Amino acid sequence: MASILRQHPRKIAAGGVLVAFLASPYAPSLFRTTGVSNIEDRWAAGGGGRNHTPGAGTKLGARHEVTGNQLETKGMGSPHHQEKIGEQKPEGSKFDKAWNKSMYGAEKGK
C-alpha cells in the first residue's frame, strides 16, 4: 500500500478530487437526462409530482403546481356532496327503512 502511494501520488490525488466533486451538490446528475426531464414534465402536467406520486390529485395541466386540491373538498359531508350526490341513493322499502331505523337510528341508514 505504501509503495502505491509513493509511485502514483498524482493519480490518487486526482481520484480523490474527482470523488469529492461527484459527491458534492454542484456536480451534474448522471440520471437527470433530457428524456428524464421530459418525462417528469409530462407526469407533472398530468397531475403528478416531479419526484413522487401525490396522495391527492393536482390541477390537470399545471405542471409547476404540485399541491393537492384538499382545501375545497367535495367528499362526504361537504355542501357539494349534499347538493349533487347525497340524494342519489334510491328510496328504500318500508322494510329497509324499519331495518335502518332499528339498526342505525335513522331511516336513511348510516
Lowest-confidence segment of 39-43, 85-89, 90-94, 95-99 by average pLDDT: 85-89
Cβ neighbour number for residue 51 with a 10 Å cutoff: 9
Residue 70 CB contacts under 8 Å (≥ 6 apart), including other chains: 56
- Flag whether the pTM goes above 0.95: no
pLDDT of residue 55: 59
Q: Note the pLDDT tens digit of each residue in 11-41.
A: 888 988 888 877 777 777 777 788 888 888 8
Largest CA distance in the chain: 96
> Is the distance from CB of 43 to CB of 32 less than 8 angstroms?
no
Q: Note the pLDDT tens digit of each residue in 47-77.
A: 676 666 665 555 666 656 656 555 666 677 7
Q: From residue 45, how far is each of 15, 54, 60, 66 by CA, in Å?
A: 41, 13, 6, 9
